[in-house]
Amino acid sequence: MSEVAAATFPLACPPGSTPADIAAFIAEWLSPERFEEYLADPDRIVLKAVSDDRIVGYSLLHTAEPANPDVAAVITLRPVTELSKMYVLPGHHGNGVSGELMTTVLETAKADGSAAVWLGVNQENVRAQRFYRKHGFAIAGTKTFLVGTQSHSDYVMQYAF
């Protein structure tokens, strides 16, 4: 899963991102050790998309109070789940894998008792925004997101059950 994360994270970064900043983010947040922590954390759920016995995508749900004040100001439904990561390998884009993963994300959050799911998406990542809109998310606000030393502009999107 860490390999899929490292292969797909750069796809979500805007063109101005430097390779060094992307590499620093991957090393800090997407290492095998980090995934062991995510899998062991009772407030996090990791979902995998599998095709021909290989992991081709994953998502990470995090149930917690939004720590970012820009998010807390616009995401007010409780309890709330963050869709912290949603990544599918390029060879499986546009073929329904991501849609199935998103359906499972929403079913899981609902079964967990969440009133809403929120996420951050880079303002230049039009494909992901379109995907999220298609699945019922709407823009609720904006925030920044740090990749290495660079601060990026995100939209905050919400799906309310």
Ligand X SMILES: CC(C)(COP(=O)(O)OP(=O)(O)OC[C@H]1O[C@@H](n2cnc3c(N)ncnc32)[C@H](O)[C@@H]1OP(=O)(O)O)[C@@H](O)C(=O)NCCC(=O)NCCS
Binding site for ligand X (CB under 6 A): 8, 11-12, 86-88, 93-94, 98-99, 121, 125-128, 130-131, 134
Residues 6+ apart with CB under 8 A from 129: 121, 155, 157
Indicate the residue whose CB is closest to ligand X.
98
C-alpha Rg value of the chain to the nearest Å: 15
d(CA 68, CA 65): 9
C-beta of 95: minimal distance to ligand X in Å? 7
C-beta of 100: minimal distance to ligand X in Å? 10
Provide the β-strand partners of residue 44: 62
d(CA 142, CA 123): 9
C-beta of 61: minimal distance to ligand X in Å? 13
Which one, 80 or 156, has the nearer CB to ligand X? 156
Which one, 113 or 146, has the nearer CB to ligand X? 146
3-state secondary structure of 152: strand
Which one, 40 or 67, has the nearer CB to ligand X? 67
